[in-house]
Amino acid sequence: MRPVPAWRKALVRPETGSICGTILVFVFFAMIAGNSGMFSAEGFINWGTVSAQFAIIAVGACLLMIAGEFDLSIGSMIGFSGIIIALLTVQLGVPTWIAIIAAFALAVAIGGLNGYLVIRTGLPSFIVTLAFLFILRGLTIYIAIATTSKTIIGGVKEASEGDWLAALFGGHVLTGLFSWLADKGLIGQFVAGPRAGQPVVEGIPMLMVWALALIIVGHFILVRTKFGNWIFAAGGDAQAARYVGVPVNRVKILMFMLTAFCATVFATCQVMEFGSAAADRGLLKEFEAIISVVIGGALLTGGYGSVIGAALGALIFGVVQQGLFFAGVESSLFRVFLGVILLLAVILNTYIRRRITGER
């Protein structure tokens, strides 16, 4: 047997394509939007936040996809969990931390139900979760209208003032550092209104911290634990995995619960940041999660992929989406550009992988 050269080993990793893509995308935008404010502190926080949003849902979608399944109910789950939190806190006056825990419990239970139905019925997860896309969206609008006759429930910020768990989703970290940077004149300050003199960037939003934490934990579980191997095995060849004693059903159901968990993290951060929940939040987010994962080098058929890749996919997606704005692209053409760049990224990815692994 010929020894595999190190460069070849590196290239066969699923995230190789997305690393190249990330570099290309950054070079591209440094060229066309370098002095538009995109790389100022504010600009960084802007596309960083959007990328972090994609990353949060992409981590769940990635592990689920490696386990061989899809979840199309992610977007609806975002709207659903948000409305649950807002209803409990604003309408029923429940303390925010209880509302958040309740929303997580409910979402994870629904995720579990998704998985259970897929396993028990043997239907494709595409169909089962498509059903939940509609069930959850309809239910969300119904609950909101029935209880408040509105589809947007505001006032969460006031209701969750000083709540310890709310701060974990809606706050900022490193605020001291940013004040210091502003004092040194390294980042801008507000010039008018009650916040005059404060830095334009308050700190790193908790959304980014959550994204980073989920990426690190997800990556660790996938590549460093036995459970990670089970995930690969369940998505590679479920029957073969069962023969060697991998609890495939349990792994898959757990991964469905994980996507629901990630969707709820997304929803909670959003509700805490904006102080309101709306029944139409998260529209099409399931596709954005899947797109991030696919740019990140995962296979739609399961058994192959990486969390780091998905995270880079989310970064590429976020930078492209926001960067085109900074570049001043006409808004109707905006999605054409987005589509083309996504296509290029995936083609590049697939090309690298095929070339290296020799698969057809």
Partner 1 sequence: MKKYLLAFAATAMAFGAMLPAAAQAEGERFVLISHAPDSDSWWNTIKNAIKVAGEQMDVEVEYRNPPTGDLADMARIVQQATASNPDGIIVTIADFDVLSGPVSDAVAKGIPVITINSGTEEQSKKLGAMMHVGQPEYTAGKLAGERAKKESGATSFVCVNHYITNPASVERCQGFADGLGVELGDQMIDSGMDPSEVKSKVQAYLNAHPDTGAILTLGPNSAEPTLAALDEMGKSGQIYFGTFDLSTAIADAIKAGTINFAIDQQPYLQGYLPVVLLTNYARYGVMPSNSINSGPGFTTKDNIELVEKYAGQYR
Q: Which residues here bind partner 1, judged by CB under 8 A?
A: 24, 28, 31-32, 36-38, 40, 42-43, 45-46, 49-50, 141, 145, 149-152, 154-157, 188, 190-196, 200, 270, 273-276, 278-284, 322, 325-332, 335, 337, 340, 344, 347-348, 351-352, 355
Q: How far apart are CA 207 and CA 76, in angstroms?
A: 19
In angstroms, what is the minimal distance from the CB of 34 to partner 1? 11
Least separation in angstroms between CB 69 and partner 1: 25
Nearest-angstrom CA–CA distance, 281 and 339: 22
CB of 332 to partner 1, least distance (A): 8
Query: Which of 285, 252, 192, 325 lies closest to 68, judged by CA?
Result: 252
Secondary structure class of 229 (helix, strand, coil):
helix
Q: How far is the CB of 238 from partner 1 (least distance, A)?
A: 34
Distance CA 260, CA 104 (A): 8
Query: Closest Cα to residue 263, out of 241, 290, 238?
Result: 290
Smallest gap from Cβ 50 to partner 1, in A, equals 6
- Give the nearer residue to partner 1 in terms of CB position, either 124 or 155: 155
What DSSP state is assigned to residue 193? S
What is the distance between the alpha carbons of residues 18 and 54, in angstroms, rounded to a whole number? 15
Q: Using DSSP, state whether 194 is helix, strand or coil.
A: coil
Q: Using the minimum distance from each CB to partner 1, give the nearer residue, 47 or 132.
A: 47
Rounded CA separation 240/216 (Å)? 29
Quick one: 93 or 328, whose CB is closer to partner 1? 328
Which CB sits closer to partner 1, 109 or 284?
284
Closest C-alpha to 64, from 210, 338, 258: 258
Output 22 or 49, the one with its CB closest to partner 1.
49
The rounded radius of gyration (Å) of the Cα atoms in the chain is 21
Output the smallest distance, CB 237 to partner 1, in A: 30
Which CB sits closer to partner 1, 168 or 344?
Answer: 344
> What is the CB neighbour count within 10 angstroms for residue 152?
15
